[in-house]
Structure formats: C-alpha cells, structure tokens
Amino acid sequence: MTERTPYSRSTESNSREKKMRTEMVPSILKRLGEIVSNRLVKGMQMVTVQPLFGSPLVVWVKCAWKPGTSGNCAVQMAFPTKEDRAHTVEDVVDVVVEKTNRAIDRGATHLLLLAADNEGHKPLAAYLLAIDQTESLIKRAVAIDESLTRNGASPSIYITAKGNRQAALVELVKDISKDLLQLPPSSLSTSDAIEDLTIWPYGDVTPEKTYRMSASYTRDLRVRLYVLKRAKGCCEYCGEEGFLMSDGQSHYLEAHHIIALADDGKDTVDNVIALCPKHHREAHFGANRTSLETEMTRRLRSRKRKVVT
C-alpha cells in the first residue's frame, strides 16, 4: 500500500474528480448554452459557455467531496498552508476572497459548485452563482456556523445536507444561486436561467462600511512610473493614445503585470506594460487573454533597452 502524506489524495479520489470534471461538468453546463472552451488556467478549471442570448459565461468549477455515508457534501474553497491557516472568521473570509480574486483575474464570471455520488457518476447538486457573490456567501456562512464553514483550516461551502446544521448552510447557497439540475437537459433557451442570476437588485441605500485585512503584493512605484514614461502616453499594445486627463497635459494609461504577481510574476520593467483601459481589462477578462499575454511579452522583449528621459 502506497503511503500518503496528510494532504495527498488517493488514486480513487483523483479518478472520481477527473470523471466529474471531464464528463459531468460539460453535460451540466450544456444546459446553459454552447461550450466554447474547457481548460485549466493556472490550475483552475474554467469553462466558457455561450448562451443563446447574452454575453458568454466563464465558469470556475469547484467539485465537492464525496457524500460517503453521511450524505453531506461541501466544496473546499482553499487549502491554506500550515503557515497561513484559517483560524478565525476573518481568516476564512480572507482566504476565500483571495482565491476568488485569483479566479476573477483568470476571467471567471460565475462559480459552479458541483457534488456527485460516491462513484462520481450521478450529480447530486449543481449550483451556479455570480462570482461576485462569493464573498457575501462565505460571510453569511461563517455567521451561521463558523465551525462547519471553517472546516478545520480549509474553508468550505456545503451544497448537500442531511443534518440540520449543514441544511442551514445549503439554504444560503440556494438563496443566491441557480440550481442547474432543475433545468431541462437540452434547454434551447436559457435566458430565464441567466436572468435569475442578474435580476434587478434592490441594493442598499445605507451600505454598511466594513474593514478587512487581506494579503496583497507590494509594487515598486518606480517601476510603474518608468513604464508610464516609457509609453509616452500611448498604449504599448495597440499604440492608441490614452484619453487626456483633467490636468490637460497627461494621457491616461494603466500599468499591467503581464505575468500576474499572484502567479509568481516579477515586478520589473520587463514584466510591466502600459495599457489603455480597454486592453487592460481585456488582458484580465478577455477570451483571448492567453494570446494577449504572449504577444505583450513578445512586444516588450522586442523593444531596445534604453534609458527613459
């Protein structure tokens, strides 16, 4: 018998999850529209779906643990290291928000929470929610049951339940998501399903101010200023001049890390490019962001090194 480390997974567990991701996920998401792409982006499964109407969805897929004999399934949102474990409510929120922000940086617009039977053949739950609802969901979950949500040190979201404690957490998910298992297997029009996720919000006329500590990367201001000066007011990707700012003299551009700092990119002038707002957003969320990354790297490398004056 092969010895496993405390954080490793069995061959059976890996095989089951692979089956869920390669067979079950496309089958379920086809209910929303045409599958445009299904790929791993920096270790995250991202499935792009084009509904019959509206903009494409980029779905970040998260699979739950198997139900076993308890029937309770939860998605582990993150696996913090020993040095950065989620010991408090604030830690739980910070860990989930940080992981969600990584998904957003990779283009995710929605999150799929998927549970299957012990063999990985039959879906038990498939909830789709807008990615920007994740922070609210985890905050509400820890307020209801900190222990279950914290799950030791691996923040988790319950999506099937037999126990009362777990059931209360599942109701939170149902409240802000779309149950994809309730859609017809071959729905021709999914506009109603998408509208459920983008219904006109009531909002809050007196929004609550909150304070949160989260991990971030220190950026060298000198690098940013050098890159913006190097660009001379023009996007270093498309060449278009940035819009004129209120001072009447400078043109607006944004400094973009081609390889994100979260993906071990460097905060150096050969990894930072000055972009117009359109191409900066496209570099983060566009369907062709991978090819943009390659082309931006090529263009910077092709520039002759010179001192910016």
Run means of pLDDT, 10 residues per run, the chain, 309 residues: 50 89 94 91 93 86 93 88 68 90 93 94 95 93 94 92 94 93 63 50 59 63 90 93 85 92 87 93 87 91 61
**Region class of 203: left (phi > 0), else alpha (psi between -120 and 50), else beta:** left
State residue 5's pLDDT score. 43
CA atoms within 13 A on the CB side of 58: 20
Distance between CA atoms of residues 67 and 253, nearest Å: 50
Instruction: Please list the residues that pair with 157 across neighbouring strands.
Output: 75
Distance between CA atoms of residues 176 and 136, nearest Å: 10
Under a CB-based contact definition with an 8 Å cutoff, are residues 24 and 119 in contact?
no
Under a CB-based contact definition with an 8 Å cutoff, are residues 92 and 150 in contact?
yes
Q: Is the dihedral of CA 231, 235, 239, 243 positive or negative?
A: negative
Q: What is the DSSP letter of 75?
A: E
State residue 185's pLDDT score. 63
Distance between CA atoms of residues 94 and 127, nearest Å: 22
State residue 85's pLDDT score. 64
May I ask the CATH class of domain 11-197?
Answer: alpha beta
Q: Where are the domains of the chain?
A: 11-197, 221-302
Chain centroid offset of residue 284 CA: 11
Residue 21 is encoded by which pair of tokens?
């991701």
- Segment (H or E) for 230: helix 221-231
Placement of tokens 């929120």 in the chain:
93
What are the respective helix, strand and coil percentages of the chain, to the nearest 5? 40, 20, 40
Counting beta carbons within 10 angstroms of the beta carbon of residue 16, is it exposed (0 to 12), middle (13 to 18) or buried (19 or more)?
buried
Find all residues with CB under 8 Å of 36, minimum gap 6, and list them: 48, 49, 50, 56, 287
Q: What is the DSSP letter of 107?
A: T
State residue 189's pLDDT score. 44
Under a CB-based contact definition with an 8 Å cutoff, are residues 289 and 283 in contact?
yes
Distance between CA atoms of residues 223 and 228, nearest Å: 9
State residue 169's pLDDT score. 96
